Amino acid sequence: MKFLAGVVGSVVILDQITKLLVDRFLPLYSVKPVIPGFFNLVHARNTGAAFSLFAGSPSTLRTTLFIVLTVAVVGVVVYTYGKLNREDVWTRSALALICGGAIGNLLDRMRLGEVIDFLDLYIGAYHWPAFNVADSAITVGACLMAVSLFKAQDA
């Protein structure tokens, strides 16, 4: 459980620090080019789930639903992590990253009712939806989980 706590703690701290910096130093809806034609820092707020899913739903229902689902997912992840073999580094890493990212965004939802997003990748006029460190951890964790599943099939 030390590994889980370390990864989760690192992701949550990095996520919350970066969001705090964005909130303090980048006005809402502003754009700061970093690599022209590819990467901007932005200050966006996401009231929905991934890719702003459910952003138009009533706020109390939406926020409550997201908080309850996130707490349930974190519970399942921690339970599953506890059942894993210590040598299963891929799955342990995947679950730790997913858990850290989920908690990072959960803190925003509980505090603000929405999530701060600030990383904007794009090519020309085609933008990926803005995201944050927590979203990145969840994505990397999901990719590691896929690798873990494929490795398990080869065994």
How many domains is the chain built from?
Answer: 1
Alpha-carbon distance 152 to 11, whole Å?
Answer: 26
Rounded average pLDDT over 141-153: 90
Q: What is the mean pLDDT of residues 1-18?
A: 97
Q: Determine the Cα–Cα distance for residues 65 and 57; give it in Å rounded to an integer.
A: 11
- Confidence tier at 152 by pLDDT (50, 70, 90): confident
Report the pLDDT value the prediction gives residue 49, as an integer from 0 to 100: 67
Tell me the H-state helices in 40-115.
Answer: 59-83, 89-112
Residue 144 has pLDDT above 90, yes or no: yes
Range of the domain at 82: 2-154
Query: What confidence tens digit (pLDDT) does each residue in 20-75 have?
Result: 999 999 999 999 999 999 999 999 999 876 655 666 666 777 788 889 999 999 99
Question: Which one has a higher pLDDT value, 58 or 84?
Answer: 84
Rounded Cα distance, 101 and 18, in Å: 13
User: Cβ-count burial of 56 within 10 angstroms (0-12 exposed, 13-18 middle, 19+ buried)?
Assistant: exposed
The pTM of this model reads: 0.91
| pLDDT exceeds cutoff 90 at 128 | yes
Residue 19 above 60 pLDDT? yes
Q: 22: which residues sit within 8 A by CB, 6+ positions away?
A: 41, 43, 116, 118
Amino acid letter, 127: H
Digit-coded pLDDT (tens) for 102-119: 999 999 999 999 999 999
Active site members: 117, 135
pLDDT classification of 151: cutoffs 50, 70, 90: confident
pLDDT at 58: 60
